[in-house]
């Protein structure tokens, strides 16, 4: 799984206001869910992660720019999202192997 650890969601730069980064996170979650909806077949922890991402996609994240607690919370949310997406990817790869999905086909 080492190559996948390079994954990081493409979001607004850290220099952008928290409200802009929050809107970018919400949009990223919405698009991820759009793409994932065709995949199906998730269970257990991954289903919970998808539920959390669904909640993130419906939230408006705003905060006081420069507030260290707000920034730290946002970083934790993004890290949870990043690790969650990696777990979903790992499960999807296992499903592909178990069902004989051809190598190299995503």
Assigned CATH for 15-93: 1.20.120.740
Q: Where are the alpha helices (DSSP H) in the chain?
A: 18-36, 44-57, 68-98
pLDDT at 18 over 50: yes
Residue recorded with tokens 């707000």: 70
Task: Tell me the per-residue pLDDT of 24-37, one tens digit each, with 9 for 90 and over.
Answer: 999 999 999 998 87
Mean pLDDT of the chain: 82
Give Cα separations from 9 to 48, 57, 97 (angstroms). 19, 14, 25
Question: Residue 102 pLDDT more than 70?
Answer: no
């Amino acid at each position: 799984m080492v190559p996948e650890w390079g994954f990081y969601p493409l979001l607004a730069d850290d220099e952008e206001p928290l409200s802009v980064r929050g809107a970018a996170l919400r949009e990223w979650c919405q698009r991820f869910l759009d793409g994932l909806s065709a995949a199906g077949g998730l269970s257990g922890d991954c289903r919970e992660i998808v539920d959390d991402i669904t909640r993130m996609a419906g939230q408006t994240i705003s905060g006081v720019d420069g507030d260290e607690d707000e920034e730290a919370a946002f970083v934790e949310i993004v890290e949870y999202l990043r690790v969650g997406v990696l777990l979903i990817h790992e499960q999807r790869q296992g499903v592909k192997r178990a069902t004989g999905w051809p190598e190299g086909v995503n």
